[in-house]
Amino acid sequence: MIYGNVADMRLIERAYLGYEGKKNRKLIVTRPKQRPLTLRDVSEACGVSEMTVSRVLRNRGDVSATTRKRVLEAAKTLGYVPNQIAGSLASQRVNLVAVIIPSLSNMVFPDVLTGINQAFEDTPLQPVVGVTDYLPEKEEQVLYEMLSWRPSGVIIAGLEHSDATRAMLDNSGIPVVEIMDTDGNPVDAMVGISHRRAGRMMAAAILKEGYTRIGFMGTKMPLDHRARKRFEGLTEGLTKAGIEIEARDFYSGGSALAKGREMTQSMLERAPDLDFLYYSNDMIGAGGLLYLLEQGIDIPDQIGLAGFNGVELLQGLPRKLATMDACRSEIGAAAAKIILDRSALPEDADPGPPAHVTLTPTISYGDTLRRNQRG
């Protein structure tokens, strides 16, 4: 249990509304940006002793319900995370880097982890992975537990986080790198691609080849922010050419061949005149490709296809699916280098402006995105 009992958790959740229930009121702690929050910061913010704060956060001792509420709301709002490493450690840091990703079953993230691990080879730093399943509340819990061990840095997927997660990242006092996406406002450093730009690039390629009746299939957007941004970029690019997406379908769960087959069959039964299908990832795209080949549909003359991510699986398909490389291992390596460079600085050194690195994906046309073959 992170914050004691279930009742405590409910109190913590209400901290999003502001300290002492007042909306839009924020606790302000004046301190150097690179110094992590301490018990004293929480103590000063809520007006009780450091000993009382410690008792509440460790769920020890006799503390009144009113005081407990004040302490928990202050800690949550500030983003304070208790230090669980031994007090005798002089550096108060361990040579671990928290790497927080949404999924291990998604074939994208092993490549990212490979890039991170290779960059940390022959260095004292070691990555430790936490998985959130695309759930904001689980991301909060994973981050909280990892920060409590005082890692040397955090690499976390995405730019969209809950208020509590952003507060913990912002007040951690260690290098933070948000990865995979650069369409948004990072807490600190970020490395990734612009997914909106990737969507516009794919729209331009589809239009260039003469396709006009487009269907889209992907994950449910509230959970997959990067897929949502690619979809927005795609629709923006098509709309500028006077073309609208005629059919769309969404699913929840991991990327899967079976889902791609099912959705493709269902979509073409509803809209048989579609001449291009764009999938938010390669796995469902591969499922769609296999279904169309079984049905004897001419690819790409009758229907063109494209996915996203450029996963190695595509090399074993009967036809090579058009896709876009998401620069996965490069993102991991660049993020790890930022952590390494920052951790090598003296504690009192100014790290300078945070690094914002935007990589450029490339389209692979494969065998399913026709290149100027229409007569």
Q: In the block, which residue shows the tokens 């509803």? A: 270
Q: Do 346 and 128 contact (CB within 8 A), yes or no?
A: no
CA–CA gap between residue 4 and residue 222 (Å, rounded): 30
Dist. CA 57–CA 51, nearest whole Å: 10
CATH numeric code, 6-78: 1.10.260.40
CATH code, residues 96-193+329-359: 3.40.50.2300
Contact between 364 and 147 (Cβ < 8 Å)? no
CA dist., res. 277 & res. 114, Å (int): 31
Q: How many CA atoms lie within 13 A of 125 on its CB side?
A: 25
Its pTM stands at 0.77
What one-character DSSP code corresponds to residue 279? E
Edge-to-edge, what's the strand order for the sheet holding 214-219? 245-251, 214-219, 276-279, 304-306
Q: Does domain 195-326 have CATH number 3.90.180.10?
A: no
Q: How far apart are CA 256 and CA 17, in angstroms?
A: 39
* C-alpha triplet 337, 107, 299: angle, nearest 5°: 125
Q: Locate tokens 């929840």: which residue?
A: 252
Q: Where are the domains of the chain?
A: 6-78, 96-193+329-359, 195-326
Q: Do domains 96-193+329-359 and 195-326 have the same CATH topology?
A: yes
Q: pLDDT tens string for the chain (375 positions)?
A: 333 443 444 443 444 334 344 444 455 555 555 667 888 888 889 998 888 888 888 776 788 999 999 999 998 898 888 776 654 444 567 889 999 999 887 788 999 999 999 999 999 899 999 999 889 999 999 999 999 988 999 999 999 999 999 999 999 989 999 999 999 999 999 999 999 999 999 999 999 999 999 999 987 766 788 999 999 999 999 999 999 999 999 887 655 788 999 999 999 999 999 999 999 999 999 999 999 999 999 999 999 999 999 988 788 899 999 999 999 999 999 999 999 999 888 877 888 899 999 999 999 999 999 865 544
* 193 φ/ψ angles, rounded to the nearest 5 degrees: -120, 160
> Can the peptide bond before residue 36 be classed as cis, meaning omega within 30 degrees of 0?
no
Question: 3-class SS at 246?
Answer: strand
Q: Is the dihedral of CA 110, 113, 119, 122 positive or negative?
A: negative
Q: Are 152 and 343 in contact (CB under 8 A)?
A: yes
Instruction: Report which of 68, 92, 78, 86 is spatially closest to residue 16, judged by C-alpha positions.
Output: 78
The residue written with tokens 């691609």 in the block is: 193
Q: Please name the residues in contact with 310: beta carbons below 8 A apart, sequence gap of 6 or more.
A: 282, 323, 324, 325, 326, 364
In degrees and rounded to multiples of 5, residue 232 shows phi and psi of -65, -40
Specify which residues 251 forms β-bridges with: 219
